[in-house]
Amino acid sequence: RLSKRLETVASFIPKGATLADIGSDHAYLPCYAYLHGYIIKAVAGEVADGPLRSAKQQVEKAGLSHIISVRKGDGLAVIAPGEVDCITIAGMGGTLIANILEAGKNKLSGVKRLILQPNVGADIVRKWMMSNDWELIAERILKEDGRIYEVLVAEKGDGKKPYVNMKAELLLGPFLLKEKNDVFLEKWRHELEQWKRIVRQLAEKGETESALAKKRELEEKIKLVEEALQ
Ligand code: SAM
C-alpha cells in the first residue's frame, strides 16, 4: 500500500499523463500511478545511486521496465523538452523543489501540470510558481505517522490568480487557508508556539543586532498568521 501522502500526490495526476517523478527513490509513485491507470508512461529520475538502484529494482519487480524509464540525473536533466506532460516532486524541502524547477525551466514547455509535495517551505514553492506564471489550482494538507504534509498542484497560467491577501496566502496557502481544516490549524498553532518560544529566547539573549532583526521578523510572521487564522 502506498502512503497516504503519495496517494494524495497521485490523485492529482491527470488520466493518460506521461509523468516524470523527480527524486523518485523507490519509484513507488510511478508504479502505483501506472497500476491504477493514471499514466501511460513515466520517467523516474534520481540523483543518488542508492535510491536509483532501489527504483530500478522496484520497477523490475513490478514488471514495468517497458513503462517506467529509471534515469540517473540532477532534477529535470533526466527528461527531454516535451517528453512528459506532468511532473511530480515529492518528499523534499521547498527550496530544493524550487531550485530543481528553476534549473530545469527549459524542460517545462509542454508540461501541463506540476504536483509538488514540499516537506517544509511550501511558501518558497508558491513564490516560485507565482514568479513563473504557474497557477496554483489545488492544495491538500494531511497528517500521516505524526507528520504533516502539503501537496500543491499547479497548471500553466496566471500565477497571481488565487491570491487575495498575498503575504498570508503565500505562507499558508490560499486554498488551505480558505478550508482551515483541523490538520491545517494544528500545523499553524504548532508553528506559532515555536516562533513565540524563539522570540522569548531571543529577548532573553539581549539586544544584539541580529537577535533583534530575527525577533522582528518572527513577530511579523506571528502577527500575519494570527490574523489569518482569526
Ligand atoms: N519522492 C519520494 C517520496 O516522496 O517518497 C522520495 C523522497 S526522498 C526523501 C528524496 C529523494 O530525492 C532522494 O532519493 C534523493 O536522492 C532525491 N533527490 C534529491 N535531490 C535531487 C535532485 N536534484 N535530482 C533528483 N533527485 C534528487
Position 68 scores a pLDDT of 98
> What integer is the mean pLDDT of 180-206?
94
- 134 and 188 in one domain? no
- What residue's CA is closest to ligand 1, atom 8? 91
Do 20 and 124 fall within a single domain?
yes
The set of protein residues with a Cβ atom below 6 angstroms from ligand 1 is 6, 22-25, 45-48, 51, 74-75, 90-92, 96, 100
- Residues 35-78: tens digit of each pLDDT: 999 999 999 999 999 999 999 999 999 999 999 999 999 999 99
Structure confidence at residue 114 (pLDDT): 98
Q: What's residue 157's pLDDT? A: 86
Name the closest-CA residue to atom 7, ligand 1: 91
Residues 100, 202, single domain; the answer is no
* Residue 30, domain member (yes or no): yes
Residue 170 lies in a domain: no
| Residue with CA at minimum distance from ligand 1 atom 16 | 48
Residue 207 has pLDDT above 80, yes or no: no
Q: Is the pLDDT of residue 25 over 80?
A: yes
Give the distance (Å) from ligand 1 centre to CA of residue 109: 22
Q: Rounded mean pLDDT of the chain?
A: 96
Per the structure, how many domains does the chain have? Answer: 2
6 exposed, middle or buried (CB, 10 Å; 0-12, 13-18, 19+)? buried
Residue 172 belongs to some domain of the structure: no
pLDDT value for 164: 85
Cα of 22 vs centre of ligand 1, distance in Å, is: 7
Query: What per-residue confidence (pLDDT) applies to 211?
Result: 85
The CATH code of the domain that includes 39 is 3.40.50.150
Of residues 93 and 164, more confidently modeled: 93
This prediction has a pTM of: 0.96
